[in-house]
Amino acid sequence: MIFNKDTAEKTAELLLQINAIKLNPENPFTWASGWKSPIYCDNRLILSFPSIRNYVRDEFAKNIEKQFGKPDVIAGVATGAIGVGILVAESLGLPFVYVRPEPKKHGRQNQVEGFLQKGQNVVVVEDLISTGKSSLMAVEALRSEGANIKGMAAIFTYGFGVAEENFKEANIDLFTLSNYENLLDLAVQKQYITEDQQSTLLEWNESPSTWGQE
């Protein structure tokens, strides 16, 4: 679910402007999972554009507090959401921790890095939601440390049905600055893509794991 329509449209436009999101239905990308995709999203580019990262920071801070109440801690999911998570925590005047994909193999073998007390209210910040699997693994790591997860806030989601099911099963409320639907509407409006290309992109979204396979 998006925080609000205006933010969703503005965020989509900014992501397209800096090529954080690339749309190429005719020459699809190949994801690490092996999926063929007409879209590629790299939200880490936001950090290189001060005015845009400040916009994302401010929208996150404002809407997190409005939607979840002010938490005790902001947690970022490594590695993509560490940078923006720190910005949000700084804006809200809150402690920050981040969550590794798995525990370290040495030292204290931490998966959650930073100071976190049992029972603290945490909002998790993520850069991108695809299936939600890695994001929810971070949630489980925080819960295993005794955190009370208020919800998750992400920059963008592809809006896959499997992600919705995964978040529902984990009992986690997910809100995003923008999403696939608003991105495509904005991309057509601003002539990044044609309506025919939009149809192709919508077809992919319905069955991303099999799209483009002969």
The amino acid present at 87, given as its one-letter code, is: L
The DSSP-derived string for 132-171 is SHHHHHHHHHHHHTT-EEEEEEEEEE---HHHHHHHHHHT
Q: Is residue 210 part of a domain?
A: no
* Binding residue positions for orotate: 130
What are the tens digits of pLDDT across the range 77-94? 999 999 999 999 999 999
Q: How many CB atoms lie within 10 A of CB 3?
A: 20
Q: Is residue 213 part of a domain?
A: no
Q: Is residue 214 part of a domain?
A: no
Q: Is residue 62 part of a domain?
A: yes
Give the count of domains, the chain: 1
* Binding residue positions for 5-phospho-alpha-D-ribose 1-diphosphate: 100, 104, 106, 126-134
What are the tens digits of pLDDT across the range 139-152? 999 999 999 999 99
Q: Is residue 14 part of a domain?
A: yes
Domain range for 168 is 3-204
**Residue 76's domain is classified under what CATH number?**
3.40.50.2020
* Binding residue positions: 100, 104, 106, 126-134
Q: Calculate mean pLDDT across residues 171-179.
A: 97
